[in-house]
Amino acid sequence: MNGQVRANIWPGLKVRIVEKQNQRTGQLTEGVVQKLLTSSPTHPHGIKVMLVNGVVGRVKEILSTS
């Protein structure tokens, strides 16, 4: 699934995100989505989310759909 489409992402989903300060390096952070922060249906750089640990970033990979 595509991390650029809001319909593919929901709370409880396990994802990998890139934080703002890691955009140049591309370092990914793994976690579970707490809430979606992007309101538009799509975003070219990935949907912005907050993970349950409070980290904010854009979804680059969707790991599980459960």
What pLDDT is stored for residue 1 in this prediction? 76
Residue 17, token pair as written in the block: 């995100």
Q: Which residues of the chain have pLDDT under 50?
A: none
Neighbours of 60 (CB within 10 A): 16
Predicted local confidence at residue 66, as pLDDT: 60
- What is the model's pLDDT at position 64? 82
Query: From residue 63, how far is each of 13, 21, 24, 32, 35 by CA, in Å?
Result: 8, 22, 22, 10, 16
Against a cut of 0.95, is the pTM above it? Answer: no
How far from the centroid of its chain's Cα atoms is residue 54's Cα? 12
- For the chain, give the mean pLDDT: 95
Supply the CATH classification number for the domain 6-64.
Answer: 2.30.30
